[in-house]
Amino acid sequence: MSHYQVNDGVAVITLDNPPINAMALALRRRLADAIHAVQADPAVRAIVITGAGRGFSGGGDITEFDLPAISQVPLPAELLTLIESGSKPVVAALHGMALGGGLELALACHARVAHAQTKVGLPEVQLGLVPGAGGTQRLPRLVGPELALNMIAYGKTREAHSLRDSGLFDLLTDEPPLGAAVTLARDLAARCAEGGALRRTSKLLLQMPNAQAFFAFARATVKAQSQGMPAPSACVDAVENSVTQPFKEGLRREMESFTRLRVTPEFAGLRHAFLAERKAAEIRGLPSDVMPRTVERVVVIGAGTMGTGIAMSLANAGLPVTLLEREQPALARGLATVREHYEADLKKGRLTRQQFEQRLGLIHGALGFDAVRDADLVIEAVFEDLEVKRQVFEQIDAIARPGTVLATNTSMLDVDRIAAFTRRPQDVLGLHFFSPAHVMKLLEIVRGACTSADVLATAMALARRIGKIAVVSGVCEGFIGNRMFESYLMQAGLLLDEGAWPQQVDRAIEKWGMSMGPFRVCDLAGNDLSAKIRQQRLARTPELVYSRTFDAVVELGRYGQKVGRGWYDYMPGQRAPLPSDEVNAAIVAESQRLGLQRRAISDEEIADRLVLALVNEGAKILEEGIAHQASDIDVVYAAGYGFPRWRGGPMFAADRRGLADVITTMGRVSRRPDYQRGADFWQPAELLCRLAERGDSFGTLNHSEHL
């Protein structure tokens, strides 16, 4: 997993632990052995450490964090001290990525050479941790406390060229960095032979005259932005220690903080979310030798909000896109929207002029369906109506060449019925983007009954290419995310009938951790759109119970933010929600119509009813085989619905709570007014009951148990 070769006095040690050269125990041991060997080899005058494959190192092995390996020697900090304290110069040759423990390893080397596009960072805070191998102590000594704190407390990854003048790198290159690193290692060895000293990062002096005021301000800023998460504030403390404490003491306190944070519920949830995203990419039943189809030319049908967002997602990844409409005015509006988005990004510095021109040049407009003839992939993003989609897919089917992948962006409709509108259902699947599509990371890939393996593989490959987090769903109304969200919304409305107010429901669930409450979400999405979905559901399943206040709000013309009035009032040019007397009066009128005595409802009850509605529906989705595994549901909600990532996702949160307690609480909240049919709504899924009876969890499920 780590090996070296000697070339004219320079030993090149290669980290080799696919796919990202994670600093697992076995790799640490091999690296330590190699360091000991080359330090003792008289033929070696200098050392270069590089990474095999696609990068230097992606950091620590997160799967070891609850295993004995996390505390077995050599510990990461001990290994890096071994490297830094050696008598022979060590140069890191960085390419691809140097993240977390990988960057910490590079910091302990005596010099660093990097390819200009190398992604570097200390993202541990995103897992609820501080760096644990000296990153909080060495990085400030190289780049200064202010930049180091920004990188550590926010955990953002940066490309090496953006840090060109920071002091982090001795040399940046547009070529593979190994050759330049070997040359630099020889130069350093020659200087040492002439009596020069190695630059050891831990020995660099670090002074900051205004340290107390700076860190007080930084601590207050981070605290205000971190929503009570402990890791960001701990990062500030650790970087402050690099300024105020000797290196060894700062290192000791860093490890103390790392160890403390590693047992917090926040770390457990964030770690689960991190691993769940990677697990979602492993599709059961997909042959290992299946190859995705080539996708180089894409047509997006529909130049509305969703269609333009999808087009930009593709163009941002370098894919040529034709945006197709029936009429010139609609096409012109769509292309103008694209230009406006890119111009805004250019103005804010998010794009260079070259990137602006490149992306804009990749998106072309067309009228009619002729552009479909040469497409590798066609994505339909038209109005959410089955008859409209039938017309579109029949025309696509008649024109597209054999082998073209046909995708629908439907958020609710039956993908199998849409596939049946064609003579090639094996080529059809759902690609459910979330709005705004060029911003939101989640992509639900809906596998139809006839979808072929290579079409599914093509969709997964496309998701990776355009930087989306993909989750495969089976076919059902609303798939994973929207099907669960409807149950969540139903409870939100019924809480209003009983005594809650929209602002109270939103505030309670946001305090619990959701990024936005249900009524703010409805205003953002459009209450008229929600009404159409609700009408379709009630037509198919009339026994469902929604609060009539949903319809009352729409009847009042309160469609949401787009018209300045929805569940809330909005001041012109502002998005801050203001409670509405008109809506509150409609809520009270509905309570009176139902003959209900409005009551005080606690924030705890609100959170229980909303979250457990998600959990129970999620259990049914697992039971039906719509989701492959519980963690897929967690990914959908953490990546697409604002579920607090530090809670892991609804199914993980239920496991942490205990499934027996989940069922007990559901029984308690099921005692609702008769019209709500609470006993039916809160009937626990059979899978949930089975797991609770055995003392098991969603996390212990294997696929066969819920098919």
CA gap 400, 341 in Å, rounded: 30
User: Which candidate, 337, 327, 395, places its Cα nearest to that of 367?
Assistant: 327
Whether the CB-CB separation of 599 and 498 falls below 8 Å is answered with: yes
Q: Within 10 Å of residue 393's Cβ, how many Cβ atoms?
A: 24
Give 620: exposed, middle or buried? Use CB within 10 Å, 0-12, 13-18, 19+.
buried
Q: How far is CA 193 from CA 143, 189, 307, 495, 690, in A?
A: 28, 6, 64, 77, 71
CA gap 399, 196 in Å, rounded: 72
CA gap 471, 281 in Å, rounded: 7
Handedness of CA 676, 677, 683, 685 (dihedral sign): negative
CA gap 319, 330 in Å, rounded: 23
User: Which candidate, 496, 471, 652, 498, places its Cα nearest to that of 584?
Assistant: 496
Handedness of CA 680, 685, 686, 691 (dihedral sign): negative
CA 50 to chain centre: 29
Dihedral, 490, 491, 493, 496 alpha carbons, nearest 10:
170
- Tokens 């849409």: give the residue: 418
CA 265 to chain centre: 19
Q: Within 10 Å of residue 136's Cβ, how many Cβ atoms?
A: 32
CA gap 326, 160 in Å, rounded: 45
Whether the CB-CB separation of 474 and 625 falls below 8 Å is answered with: yes
Q: Which residues are catalytic?
A: 104, 124
CA 430 to chain centre: 20
Q: How far is CA 51 from CA 1, 75, 96, 103, 106, in A?
A: 10, 20, 9, 12, 11
Give 133: exposed, middle or buried? Use CB within 10 Å, 0-12, 13-18, 19+.
buried
User: Which candidate, 150, 148, 94, places its Cα nearest to that of 118?
Assistant: 94
**Most distant CA pair in the chain: distance in Å?**
93
